[in-house]
Amino acid sequence: MEQINTEHGIFTSNEELGLSAEEVYEKWLENKDNPQPKPPTKEEILEQRINDLELYILTQEGLI
């Protein structure tokens, strides 16, 4: 396993994706200012499901 030591830490190759340690580091640099969105919380998921059910019920009853 290849690894490089940078000012941002140690980066290792990704054998699964076939990327060298340098390529992994370059990808990290490209994406470091664009973090992945956080997954919704349980409360947000439940709220969305409740809203979906309310809409479904109102649609089925012909109220919308």
> Tens-digit pLDDT profile for the chain (64 aa)?
899 999 999 999 999 999 999 999 999 999 999 888 899 999 999 999 999 999 999 999 887 7
Could you state, in order of their start, the residue ranges of all structural domains in the chain? 3-60
Q: What pTM does this model have? A: 0.56
Contact partners, residue 13, CB within 8 Å, separation at least 6: 1, 2, 3, 19, 20, 21, 23, 24
Helix ranges, the chain (H): 21-31, 42-60
Chain mean position to CA 1: 26
pLDDT confidence of residue 22: 97
